[in-house]
Amino acid sequence: MKQIKMTVNGKIHELQVKPWATLLEILRDDLGLTGTKEGCGLGECGACTVIMDGKTVNSCLVLAPEADEKEIITIEGLAQGDKLHPIQEAFMEQGGLQCGFCTPGIILSTKTLLDENPKPTDEEIRRGIAGNFCRCTGYTKIFESVKAAAQKGGK
């Protein structure tokens, strides 16, 4: 077992982890943050996307020890109490979700995109979420949601 310390959604966690455990497993199984989804476990679908030190990562490809001393944001960390994050509001208003399984990952990819580039072009939006599959929406309403979030100043 290996000792790690990481900040998740602003809270410090000190954990004993198996060296081969993934960040995804730690978030879901040890911390109960099941908003992060496992779609493929191979880094192909993006459903397990979280933000680590300001960058999106596929948490299924990050070994838990690699998250030591890192700051993680998951979907549960976006809203401030009852107040939704502007990106969450935009996805709700624009219908940028259907089954919801890819939604946490796509919202976090959107956050990273808008943090780096608050006024993305259509092409930049497409590229910004290219690491996340969505099988339900055909992406159209997701693009509209990202645009609406940008208009809200949704970083």
Partner 1 sequence: MGEFSVIGKRLPRVDAPEKITGGAKYAADYSLPGMLWCKVLRSPYAHARILNIDTSLAERLPGVKAVITGKDFGNWTWGFMPTTRDEPPLALDTVRYMYEAVAAVAAIDEDTAEEATELIQVDYEELPGVFDPEKAMQEGAPQIHDYVKNNISVEYNWNFGDVEKAFAESYIVHEDTFRTARATHGYLEPPAALAFYDPSGSITIWPAKQSPYFHYRHLAACFKLPLSRIRVIQPFIGGGFGGTKNDSLAGDFCAVMLSKKTGKPVKFVYTQEEELTTSRRRHSMIVYNKMGVKKDGTLMAIHSRVIADGGAYTAIGPLTMYLTGFMTTLPYKLPHFKHEASRIFTNNPIGAAMRGHGITHTRFACEIQMEIIAEQLGIDPVEMRLRNVIDNPEPGSIYETINKVTLKTCGIKEAIKTVAEDPIWRDRDTMPKRDGTMAWGVGLSGTSYLSGARQLGHQSCGAIVRICEDGTVNLITGATDCGQGSDTVLCMIAAEELGVTLEDIDIKRVDTAYTPVDPGSYGSRVTVLAGQATKLAAADAKRQLLEFAAKTWGAKPEEIEIKGGIVSVRKDAEKTMPFSKLARIACYSGSGAVIIGHGYSGYGLEPLDFTAGIGNGGTSYSFTAQLAKVGVDMETGQVTVTDFLIAHDAGRPLNPIGAEGQNEGGAVQGLGQTIYEDFIMDKGKTLNPTFLDYKMPRSTDVPDIKVIDIITDDPDGPFGAKEASEGSIVSTPPAVVSAIHDATGIWFKELPITPEKIVKALKEKGE
Question: Which chain residues interact with partner 1 by CB under 8 A?
Answer: 28, 33-42, 44-45, 47, 74-76, 78-79, 84, 88, 91-95, 97-104, 107, 125-127, 129-130, 132-143
Minimum distance between the CB of residue 1 and partner 1, rounded to whole angstroms? Answer: 15
Q: Between residues 28 and 63, which has the closer beta carbon with respect to partner 1?
A: 28
Buried b (16+ CB within 10 A) or exposed e, 11-44: eebebebeeebbbbbbbbeebebebbbbbeeeee
- What is the 3-state composition of the chain as percent helix, strand, coil, each rounded to the nearest 5? 35, 20, 45
Minimum distance between the CB of residue 137 and partner 1, rounded to whole angstroms? Answer: 5
Minimum distance between the CB of residue 119 and partner 1, rounded to whole angstroms? Answer: 18
Residues 144, 95: Cα–Cα separation, whole Å: 9
Residues 104, 49: Cα–Cα separation, whole Å: 8
Q: Between residues 42 and 69, which has the closer beta carbon with respect to partner 1?
A: 42
Residues 101, 114: Cα–Cα separation, whole Å: 21
Q: Between residues 15 and 77, which has the closer beta carbon with respect to partner 1?
A: 77
Q: Which backbone phi and psi does 112 adopt, to 5 degrees?
A: -65, -40
Q: Between residues 6 and 28, which has the closer beta carbon with respect to partner 1?
A: 28
Q: Between residues 23 and 139, which has the closer beta carbon with respect to partner 1?
A: 139
Minimum distance between the CB of residue 141 and partner 1, rounded to whole angstroms? Answer: 5
How many angstroms from the chain centroid is the CA of residue 20? 22
Minimum distance between the CB of residue 11 and partner 1, rounded to whole angstroms? Answer: 15
